[in-house]
Structure 1
Amino acid sequence: MSWEKDSRERILAAAEELFAARGIEGARVDEIARRAGVNKRMIYHYFGSKEGLYRSVLEANHARALEAGRSALRRPLGLQERVAEAIRSYFHFLARHPNYPRLMAWEALQGGEHARQVLAQLRRDLLPELREVLEEGVREGAFRADLDLEQVLATVITLCSAHFSGRDPLEPGKAEERLKHITELVLRYVSPTK
């Protein structure tokens, strides 16, 4: 039913805002329900608990981030250009979804238990595609042979996310300057030494 989908989406949107602002510990189910315009019993009906709602918010955000990276890796570009496009896609995803880096910052502060549960599946979904691109790059001599895929992925995520945790990450000119720096840094690292 469309009203159920609408209610569920309003709950997720309200929860995302509050979880991003206050973390899971600071957000209250009553306030989420009030902002979503639903009875709080609906939250428990759809998500089971506040923790279930929080994981659903994380899953939705991680899935959007994953899709941004996947679509970039599938573009008909050269290998280095696909990696650069994946970095750009993730960076622009963060710019369009400012709650995501805040959610991840709260997760880091609160031990990361929920993100670990959610990220495990999403990482399994993305890593094979990224590994395929990097392995092809190693075979063709576009990438160095000793790459640690997990480290490359963690570096990209950390560098991009750090930009959006600053005071004014969208200051004109600064975002593209930062993106260019991150992309060049990662591409230099993955390229074979001359």
Structure 2
Amino acid sequence: MGPTVNGAPPRSRSYDARRRQEAAEEARKRVLASSRALFLAQGYGRTTIAAIARAAGVSKEFIYKGFGGKPGLVRAIFEQSLLGAGGPPAEERSDRAKATTTDPRELMEQFGRFIAEISPLGSPVYLLIRDAAASGDQDMLGLLRDVDDERYQRMLHNARQVLVRGFLRPGLTVDEVADVFFMCTSPELYETLVLKRGWSAERFGTFMARTLAANLLPDR
């Protein structure tokens, strides 16, 4: 063991700990990237922890310790998707937009851009969960219920925030507004228009912005 200064551990020890933390975080990122690629290419049932570990260059034990198995991995890649494409988390940017934007139609356009950013990341993972749940997998059935409830709670939060700003058509209730947001962020709608009909994500986001404005804002 190296010398100490005033009883403090050697500086190299903290450096080594930081290097280990950085290496573990890089390994975690590789696991998430490999999991996403394999799950979406092969499906939930056919993808194994062993295959993910090989692709990510880690041990199976690392995955089980960090994620608890396949259900935990799917939840982790879904939650990662909701952060958006980079920078501050999408929810943080959305809350800032709702608090600071003064033009209600511009706010709906921003919502559309958030939908265009997040849907290509999150919707395929949601559809993976849905399909695995439909096959009878109980873990995925529970996860499907969880992510649907979490998305609705987020839309309820959005509804309360925009109602407070006084932007919306008179007479709308918070539940009605939340339902419109819930519909416009539906992975099934993304599946229909983008995956099946070939729309671009940008076109889909613009359509959702117009749908939000048509259903929530006063007539001009």
- Coarse TM-score class (shorter-chain normalised): 0.7 to 0.9
- Counterpart mapping for 1:142-181 below 5 A: 142-147=168-173, 148-158=176-186, 159-160=189-190, 162-166=192-196, 168-170=198-200, 175-181=201-207
RMSD (Å), alpha carbons: 2.8
Counterpart secondary structure, 1:77: coil
Task: Show the counterpart of 2:56.
Answer: 36
Task: Measure how far apart 1:133 and its partner are.
Answer: 1.0
2:70 maps to what in 1?
A: 50
1:2 aligned residue? 22
Looking at structure 1, the residues matched to 203 and 211 of structure 2 have their Cα atoms a distance apart, in angstroms, of: 12
Equivalent residue number for residue 131 of structure 1: 160
Aligned length: 184
Flag structure 1 segments of 5+ consecutive residues without an equivalent.
Answer: none
* Counterpart-to-counterpart distance in 2, 1:9 and 1:156: 30
**1-side partners of 2:202 and 2:71: how far apart?**
36
Moved over 6 A (4+): none
Which amino acid in 1 is paired with 2:70?
A: K
Gaps of 5+ in 2: 1-20, 85-89, 134-140
Same amino acid, percent of matched pairs:
23
How big is the shift at 1:53? 1.6
Q: Is the CA contact 1:12–1:53 (under 8 Å) kept in the aligned structure 2?
A: yes
SS at match of 1:24: coil
Contact in 2 for aligned 1:101/1:161 (Cα 8 Å)? yes
Question: In 1, are the aligned partners of 2:74 and 2:125 still within 8 Å (CA)?
Answer: no
1:73 paired residue number: 98
Radius of gyration: which is bigger?
A: 2
**1:103–1:135 Cα change, 3 Å:** same
Give the TM-score of the pair, scaled to structure 1: 0.77
Instruction: Find the counterpart in structure 1 of residue 125 from structure 2.
Output: 103
Work out the CA distance in 1 between the residues paired with 2:132 and 2:62.
26
Structure-2 residue corresponding to 1:11: 31
Moved more, 37-46 or 112-121: 112-121
Q: Is the 8 A contact 1:14 1:35 kept in 2?
A: yes
Cα deviation code 1:61-111 (max 9, x no counterpart)? 23445345334434433233213211222213334x3xx221111222233
